[in-house]
Amino acid sequence: MPRFHGQSNHAPVDIVNQLQKQYVDYLSSLFHEGVLDDQFTQLQKLQDESNPDFTVEVATLFFVDSDKLINNMAAALERSPVDFKQVDADVHQLKGSSSSIGAMRVKNLCITFRSFCETQSYEGCLICLQQVKNECAVLKDKLQNLFRMEQQIVGAGGSVPLMD
């Protein structure tokens, strides 16, 4: 059985293959559902031995950022009168960072959210805020699953497949 230098353990090849296949299937489903778009693949391509955690790091930054922005939006919507320009500015920021990591559904929700800011629709904004919150939570959950699968593959001595 081939040995991989630097690996702490090495599972049988068919287990690695199975893990890799599950990973590819899961990631494919995320693209298929529109949770992620090609920009996510772009980020994965930037990962290598010198930056093995790049995608996780960017995702982490995104969630720190989005949490703060969502809290800002919620606070702004609670104030009277509502400063829709400020909410819009925060949504714009979230749209930008979600686009940069390939979080397509979040990005699209932000586009809708901005149109409600423009028309100064309080109810529309509240609904969008809730949807954005939910979508970020879903994304976080799915990315955690994805990264967990990556760790399992690497831990078993395999390499993480890149989507084309």
Using CA atoms, how far apart are residues 137 and 67, in angstroms rounded to an integer? 10
Q: Contact with another protein (CB under 8 A): which of 11, 15, 24, 54?
A: 54
Using CA atoms, how far apart are residues 65 and 4, in angstroms rounded to an integer? 38
How buried is residue 142: exposed, middle or buried, by Cβ count under 10 Å (0-12/13-18/19+)? Answer: middle
Q: Contact with another protein (CB under 8 A): which of 16, 35, 73, 102?
A: 102
Nearest to 67 by CA among 79, 59, 56, 55: 59
Q: Contact with another protein (CB under 8 A): which of 1, 2, 3, 6?
A: 6
Q: Contact with another protein (CB under 8 A): which of 36, 101, 125, 128?
A: 101
Which range in 14-22, 25-33, 53-61, 73-81 contacts another protein by CB under 8 A? 53-61
Using CA atoms, how far apart are residues 4 and 19, in angstroms rounded to an integer? 17
List residues near another protein by CB under 8 A.
5-6, 8, 39, 42-43, 45-46, 48-54, 56-65, 68-69, 85-86, 88-89, 92-93, 95-97, 99-102, 140, 144, 147-148, 151, 159
